[in-house]
């Protein structure tokens, strides 16, 4: 039985937010961090609360901590040592594994995210800008009361127009394929796959491999928690549009190139089901837009290129043990919309998202290392993910086509990693436990 009242809402629910804000925090001492946490934890809603009142609510708050942050709050050494190694090391130390080299290297990250002083994140999702501003002021007042708590940086979230469906700055429809957790009552859309054991995403429950094992201690700290990999990914919209123009003579050809990079038309219609022409009605229909496989429907990638973003992030029936590799994605776009036809304005815009999973090394890091940035994925030889892979201008993208494939060489980087971090997302009881730690536990720890 899933304990909805003890799981932070972000893990299990998607809220109707059009805006929001992330604040990245540092604690100079344990007492101030705990004072901040004690005050904010009353606002961090559980999945049960959000399910009950989402229609009336105007804002939703989540808090999570880096390993350094748990240390700063006063979690004792014995307990800290029970967290998995990749989380203890943090995202910066894992840069090479994740493909965060060159332009994506943590040396180039912004907002203090690469600093060991990054201890916590407060995530605000808000229904509108007025509510965000109200919450921002309220939080600034709270931080001002907690001497020793410092805001390293903040990022305002903005949905991009048109607002009637979720999409990124490149124009791709988002939130099309999310795993469903067994026992939530949620019915997977056709093609999504059977519901997965809760332990794939929430600590303390059986996973696809069996009963829970090797959880961080004490149990009250880990139960109903999870891990979040944060990624701030700048999208180079003007460069992306230039690329489409360069490789497609007509608007139709340009749309097809955009679709081939992703595996779906920007409307969301999958190329497996609409190989030659966009079908926006299909793209918008959750009963149809995820209902496909690759092994039978597109083994050679004539519809969805083998190296396209969608085929890498979820190879479906062409990878082994997919049930052990699934991830929940949450997040939003940030930065101003760049209107079609407008020149590059120098403003940073992109996606600021969380990948939520029970094992960073087995789920998130595997996807980054083996699917996104492995040049020999599907024997492709010299390719990485065309959207989020580490691109330095030397790699290619091959579009299978009869009689002869199309090969694009010197693929530019359409995105740049501007920051990231590994966070532990505690359950509600665990937040209370952290808020009430006392310093004796440090001395005796």
CB of 101 or CB of 254, closer to other proteins = 101
Residue 137, class by beta-carbon neighbours within 10 Å (0-12 exposed, 13-18 middle, 19+ buried)? Answer: exposed
Give the shortest CB-382-to-other proteins separation in angstroms.
6
Give the shortest CB-176-to-other proteins separation in angstroms.
26
Strand pairing partners for 320?
none
Give the shortest CB-327-to-other proteins separation in angstroms.
15
Distance CA(26)–CA(115), nearest Å, equals 10
Give the shortest CB-150-to-other proteins separation in angstroms.
32
CB of 285 or CB of 392, closer to other proteins = 392
Give the shortest CB-356-to-other proteins separation in angstroms.
19
Give the shortest CB-337-to-other proteins separation in angstroms.
37
Q: Are 216 and 79 in contact (CB under 8 A)?
A: yes
Distance CA(203)–CA(213), nearest Å, equals 9
CB of 16 or CB of 381, closer to other proteins = 381
Give the shortest CB-317-to-other proteins separation in angstroms.
13
Give the shortest CB-143-to-other proteins separation in angstroms.
36
3-state secondary structure of 181: strand
Between the two ends of the chain, the Cα-to-Cα distance in Å is 33
Residues that bind other proteins (CB under 8 A): 84-86, 96-97, 209-211, 213-214, 320-321, 324, 361-362, 365-366, 369-370, 374-376, 379, 381-382
CB of 286 or CB of 400, closer to other proteins = 400
How does DSSP assign 280-312, residue by residue?
A: HHHHT-TTTTT---STTT-TT-SSS-TTSHHHH
Give the shortest CB-379-to-other proteins separation in angstroms.
5
Token look-up 């919450």 returns 135
Q: Are 91 and 98 in contact (CB under 8 A)?
A: yes
Q: Are 27 and 120 in contact (CB under 8 A)?
A: yes
3-state secondary structure of 26: strand
Q: Are 345 and 405 in contact (CB under 8 A)?
A: no
Q: Angle 175-176-178 (CA atoms, 0-180°, nearest 5)?
A: 75
Give the shortest CB-362-to-other proteins separation in angstroms.
5
Name the residue among 229, 49, 422, 151 with its Cα closest to residue 41. 49
CB of 284 or CB of 319, closer to other proteins = 319
CB of 143 or CB of 215, closer to other proteins = 215
3-state secondary structure of 24: strand
CB of 16 or CB of 410, closer to other proteins = 410
Q: Are 37 and 63 in contact (CB under 8 A)?
A: yes
CB of 212 or CB of 386, closer to other proteins = 212
CB of 336 or CB of 381, closer to other proteins = 381
Distance CA(373)–CA(120), nearest Å, equals 28
CB of 365 or CB of 385, closer to other proteins = 365
Handedness of CA 411, 415, 416, 421 (dihedral sign): negative
Name the residue among 109, 93, 119, 122 with its Cα closest to residue 22. 122
């Amino acid at each position: 039985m899933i304990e909805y009242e003890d799981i932070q809402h972000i893990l299990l629910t998607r809220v109707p937010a059009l805006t929001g804000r992330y604040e990245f925090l540092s604690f100079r001492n344990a007492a101030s961090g705990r004072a901040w946490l004690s005050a904010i934890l009353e606002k961090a809603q559980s999945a049960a609360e959000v399910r009950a009142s989402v229609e009336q609510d105007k804002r939703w708050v989540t808090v999570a901590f880096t390993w350094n942050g748990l240390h700063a709050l006063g979690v004792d050494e014995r307990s800290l040592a029970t967290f998995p190694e990749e989380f203890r090391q943090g995202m910066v130390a894992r840069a090479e594994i994740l493909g965060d080299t060159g332009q994506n290297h943590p040396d180039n990250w912004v907002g203090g995210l690469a600093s060991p002083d990054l201890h916590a994140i407060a995530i605000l999702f808000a229904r509108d800008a007025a509510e965000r501003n109200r919450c921002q002021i309220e939080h600034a007042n709270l931080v001002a009361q907690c001497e020793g708590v410092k805001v390293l940086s903040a990022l305002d979230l903005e949905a991009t127009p048109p607002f009637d469906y979720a999409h990124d700055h490149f124009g791709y429809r988002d939130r099309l394929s999310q795993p469903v957790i067994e026992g939530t009552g949620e019915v997977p859309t056709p093609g999504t796959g059977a519901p997965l054991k809760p332990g794939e995403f929430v600590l303390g429950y059986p996973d696809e491999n069996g009963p829970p094992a090797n959880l961080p201690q004490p149990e009250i700290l880990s139960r109903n928690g999870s891990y979040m990999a944060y990624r701030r990914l700048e999208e180079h919209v003007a460069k992306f549009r230039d690329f489409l123009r360069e490789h497609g003579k007509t608007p139709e050809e340009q749309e097809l190139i955009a679709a081939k990079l992703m595996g779906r038309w920007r409307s969301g219609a999958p190329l497996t089901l609409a190989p030659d022409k966009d079908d926006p009605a299909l793209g918008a229909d959750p009963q149809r837009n995820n209902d496909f496989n690759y092994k039978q429907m597109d083994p050679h990638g004539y519809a969805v290129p083998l190296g396209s973003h969608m085929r890498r992030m979820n190879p479906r029936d062409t990878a082994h043990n997919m049930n052990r590799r699934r991830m929940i994605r949450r997040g939003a776009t940030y930065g101003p919309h760049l209107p079609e036809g407008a020149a590059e304005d120098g403003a940073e815009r992109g996606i600021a998202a969380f990948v939520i999973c029970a094992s960073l090394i087995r789920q998130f890091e595997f996807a980054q290392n083996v699917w996104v940035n492995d040049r020999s994925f599907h024997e492709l030889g010299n390719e990485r993910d065309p959207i989020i892979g580490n691109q330095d201008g030397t790699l290619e993208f091959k579009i299978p086509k009869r009689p002869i494939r199309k090969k694009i060489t010197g693929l530019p980087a359409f995105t740049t990693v501007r920051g990231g971090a590994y966070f532990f997302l505690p359950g509600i009881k665990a937040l209370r436990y952290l808020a009430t730690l006392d310093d004796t536990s440090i001395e005796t720890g």
